[in-house]
Homo-oligomer: A and B are copies of this chain.
């Protein structure tokens, strides 16, 4: 999961818990799907399943927004879509700039999920003069020299950094100086920003490392089980020794082979 936030103290009352905010987009996506299928109402149970959470959590989350359900019936899909959209600020237009148009930046520029929810890619910016003017996702790449002007002309408050780690802090500082107050950072660096600027980080290799950690544990468990050891206390040596056996016993059933679409 992406994470990392800079925050002012939770002064104001009736603040929605951060954990709840992070789930609202999930609910919104599930609700949008229901809306497209013209489903009029959902129960907390159904919606929770669709969003991949449990229903108690969902109900508590919604209780922070206000009470938009009907006891004995459920929630009105359209109404909830509206309320959550409004709460997330998606009823307004958010111009976004992407800085660093390499593989990842280009992928982001082409990503449909942005436009579909109020985000508009206002500009693509790269430091390579050779990139300037080149169309990516139907939009000409602009040179870094224009950064400040672009931000200011478009009233951009959200910036996406997809540069190499070495350039990220500099880019960040220029974005912030130009008026950006929210940054989504894909570069594998800790950005330091002034008070009042939010940073969220998405780090691919960190996610993999977390998976590797659990994977390693599973390997240890499997091996312990196979060796018919009592599954009680953990023993580091045993786990380490067992780790070498990972992936030894894998099966590859090719029963039904459904088609997969290209990304």
Contacts and interface: CB of A to CB of B under 8 A. Distances in A.
Interface of A: 1-5, 11-14, 21-22, 24-26, 28-30, 50-52, 86-90, 92, 94-96, 99-108, 110-111, 113-114, 116-119, 125-128, 131, 144-145, 148-149, 151-152, 155-158, 162-164, 166-167, 170-171, 174, 177-179, 181-184, 188, 190, 196, 198, 200-216, 218, 221, 231, 233-234, 240, 243-244, 246-248, 250-255, 257-263
Contacts of A92: 216, 243-244, 246
Contacts of A252: 148-149, 151-152, 178-179
Q: Which 3 pairs from chain A and chain B are nearest by CB? A: A1-B3, A102-B263, A155-B247
Nearest to A192: B52
A202 B207 contact: yes
Contacts of A105: 263
A25 B30 CA distance: 32
20 contacts: A1-B4, A4-B52, A22-B210, A25-B203, A25-B205, A26-B190, A86-B240, A89-B212, A92-B246, A94-B208, A100-B263, A103-B107, A104-B107, A111-B204, A119-B208, A127-B260, A155-B250, A178-B251, A179-B251, A184-B211
Nearest to A13: B233
A216 to B, nearest CB: 3
Given A89-B212, A148-B252, A215-B94, A29 B263 contact: no
Nearest to A1: B3
A78 to B, nearest CB: 19
Contact of A207 (B100, B177, B184, B260): B184
Given A2-B202, A207-B2, A233-B13, A182 B261 contact: no
A246 B155 contact: yes
A243 to B, nearest CB: 6
A202 to B, nearest CB: 6
